[in-house]
């Protein structure tokens, strides 16, 4: 993604650009993907960046709060950052640690429980956990 495209997205989401935020966004927004903070840090380091871990985590938190990316909590130990913000579901392979998209129109969710009083449905996202088959 071009710098001008990232800056336009930042502007749309009310994110003040800094060189560090631009570097993090350049890695995550280059294509539809799911990356952990550690994977982003590794890619930044491979490009010679000296952005700190704290800055990467702070940038990702800000991007998530402002709707630029989606956070996907697979389990208490694993958090991915998703460059696709439109509604969709996921497969999570517990053996490989790979999170992959499922188009929202490929799954129908019915029979949702009654929502707590005073609330409304914001979204429903499904994570289907799989393992590699053993033959």
pLDDT average, residue stretch 37-64 = 96
Model confidence pLDDT, tens digit, residues 71-120: 998 877 889 999 999 889 999 999 999 999 998 888 888 888 999 999 99
pLDDT of residue 134: 87
Class of domain 3-82: mainly alpha
In the chain, what percentage of residues exceed pLDDT 70? Answer: 100
pLDDT average, residue stretch 53-80 = 93
pTM of the model: 0.81
- How would you list the strands of the sheet with 78-82, edge to edge? 34-35, 78-82, 70-75
Cite the residue boundaries of each domain of the chain with CATH code 1.10.10.10: 3-82
pLDDT of residue 12: 97
């Amino acid at each position: 993604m071009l710098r001008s495209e990232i800056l336009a997205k930042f502007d749309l989401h009310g994110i003040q650009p800094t060189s560090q935020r631009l570097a993090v966004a350049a890695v995550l927004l280059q294509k539809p993907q799911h990356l952990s903070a550690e994977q982003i840090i590794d890619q930044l380091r491979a490009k010679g960046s000296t952005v700190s871990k704290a800055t990467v985590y702070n940038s990702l938190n800000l991007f998530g709060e402002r709707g630029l990316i989606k956070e996907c909590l697979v389990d208490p130990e694993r958090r991915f950052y998703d460059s696709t913000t439109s509604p969709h579901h996921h497969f999570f392979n517990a053996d490989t640690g790979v999170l992959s998209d499922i188009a929202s129109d490929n799954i129908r969710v019915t029979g949702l429980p009654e929502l707590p009083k005073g609330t409304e449905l914001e979204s429903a996202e499904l994570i289907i956990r799989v393992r590699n088959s053993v033959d």
